Amino acid sequence: MTDKELFEKVENKFLPEKSLKLERFNKTKFQKVLNEIRGPSSPGNVGAGVGSFLNRAAAAIPGTRGYRMRSAEARKQEALAKQEELKAQQSEKDLQGGGSKKMSETTAKFYEANPQFATAYDLAKQGKTLSSEQQRLYNKILKQIDTIESGKVQKAGKQEAQKENKNIAGERILKRLSATAPNITKFLIDPKNKATKDLYIKYILQDDALGIPTEKEIVQLAQNLTKILQANVTEINNFKRFIRDQYSLQDKGAGLIKLLPSAPSKDKGTGKTKKITLRPETVQHFIKKDIEKSGRTIADQMKEMVRQANKKYKEGNLVKGTGKPPANYKIMDINNETGLITVRSVNDNRPYYKFAKDLGEVIEKGARQPELNLPESFDQVIKRYR
């Protein structure tokens, strides 16, 4: 656009009803607009000054390229200003702990306790320049924060390692327990009883890495153990003794032991634990003890006992016992459901109950029918005469 075309546009824009002459610029309203867009005068090339003036004049006229560029620049500056305002607002939120990048707990403590650091921190977050003294303080405290945070990470790693070591210690505890209470140990290591096992190990170790059991957890542990202890009464005392021997338990396990079921009572006269003897009413107890070693089911174990009894012995046989000194017994009856053998001692003429594994070799083969003058149970008499 030539100068002449520019003047014509300006003339049509501001004074369309008059003919605008160059010598009358200072006497028109256009002069005010020119003063606003001309800017301060500067020494130098007059031609360059005129060109700069004309460019600014063109930028003031709507529809021209200069006007559009000027408008775009204005919008750009406004957007930048808005962006800075939003950034400042976000920084303020971060400082208050409400932003997406929250201040760490350690940093927050220094921020609240040290006003000088708080000021430097605010300035740094806003991207402003810190004084040399503020920068030194800022760097010094940031270094302290890094040291503390690194220590926390190391401590967390150490605690995790301690926890792993305690888990290994827990496995060793169960291994030692298995020597005195194998059935209870088998229950604890069963995957479906993992919660009870973890709680038991936690109770035995009493270690901060795994946590100290609460009173409620101890009660829960006792409830979880009650059924398995009742099913294995011969292991109850060993299990409780194992707990008392743990050095980590200051009360020697009294808090848990008092909640567990008791073992069979003792004879007041001797102070010894009552011995459970093999009789028809207790045969299931001994069958269960045997299947713990054999791994059979109860039904299979009873079949095996019947097989062994009938293979080696017959009613009327005189056999040796396996005790010391070995006694001689006469076989009175063989139960074909459980394998329980009823015998009578030759020495004291008293009846006893044995499995085939508890008897020795046959000394003398006898008649299948026992003497009628020996006491027999009603079931045995019916069985013989059927």
Residue 316 lies in a domain: yes
* Beta bridge mates, 48: none
Last residue of a domain, one of 61, 78, 99: 61
Alpha-carbon distance 107 to 114, whole Å?
Answer: 11
Give 166-175 contacts, CB < 8 A, sequence gap 24+: 166/201, 166/205, 166/207, 166/209, 166/210, 167/201, 169/205, 170/197, 170/201, 170/204, 170/205, 173/201, 173/204, 173/205, 174/201
Q: Is the bond preceding 40 in cis, omega lying within 30 degrees of 0? A: no
Within 10 A of 257 (CB to CB), how many other CB atoms are there? 17
Spatial contact of 201 and 173, defined as CB atoms under 8 Å apart: yes
Alpha-carbon distance 240 to 51, whole Å?
Answer: 104
Q: φ, ψ for residue 131 (rounded to 5)?
A: -70, 165
For residue 384, what pLDDT is reported?
Answer: 53
Structurally, how many domains does the chain consist of? Answer: 2
Angle at 232 between CA 230 and CA 235, to 5 degrees: 115
Residue 350 lies in a domain: yes
85 CB-near residues (< 8 Å, 6+ apart) = none
Residue 174 lies in a domain: no
Alpha-carbon distance 377 to 187, whole Å?
Answer: 39
Q: Which domain holds residue 340?
A: 280-385
Residue 155 lies in a domain: no
- pLDDT single digits (tens) 17-53: 555 455 555 555 555 555 555 555 444 444 445 555 5
Two tokens, residue 235: 């292991």
Spatial contact of 369 and 315, defined as CB atoms under 8 Å apart: yes
Last residue of a domain, one of 43, 61, 79: 61
Spatial contact of 183 and 236, defined as CB atoms under 8 Å apart: no
Spatial contact of 212 and 206, defined as CB atoms under 8 Å apart: yes
Helices (H), 15-114: 30-38, 46-59, 65-95, 105-113
Alpha-carbon distance 304 to 356, whole Å?
Answer: 10
Tens digit of each residue's pLDDT, the chain (386 residues): 666 677 677 767 666 555 545 555 555 555 555 555 555 544 444 444 555 555 666 566 666 666 666 666 777 677 676 666 665 555 555 544 444 346 788 888 889 888 988 998 888 888 788 888 888 888 888 888 878 877 766 555 555 545 555 567 777 888 888 888 999 999 998 999 999 998 998 888 887 666 788 889 999 999 999 999 988 888 999 999 999 888 778 788 888 998 988 887 655 555 565 677 788 888 888 888 888 778 888 889 899 999 999 998 999 899 987 766 667 889 999 999 889 999 888 877 788 888 988 888 888 887 654 444 445 555 565 555 55
Alpha-carbon distance 299 to 125, whole Å?
Answer: 78
Spatial contact of 181 and 242, defined as CB atoms under 8 Å apart: yes
Alpha-carbon distance 175 to 182, whole Å?
Answer: 9
Report DSSP letters for 301-370, one per residue: HHHHHHHHHHHH--TT-EEEESSSSPPEEEEEEE-TTT--EEEEETTT--EEEE-GGGEEEEEE---SSP
Last residue of a domain, one of 13, 44, 61: 61
Within 10 A of 186 (CB to CB), how many other CB atoms are there? 15
Two tokens, residue 227: 């059924």
What is the CATH classification number for the domain harbouring 294? 2.30.30
Query: CA nearest 38: which of 54, 19, 17, 22?
Result: 54
The DSSP output letter for 281 is G
Two tokens, residue 226: 């009650």
211 CB-near residues (< 8 Å, 6+ apart) = 202
Residue 90 lies in a domain: no
CA 290, chain centre distance (Å): 39
For residue 220, what pLDDT is reported?
Answer: 92
Residue 231 lies in a domain: no
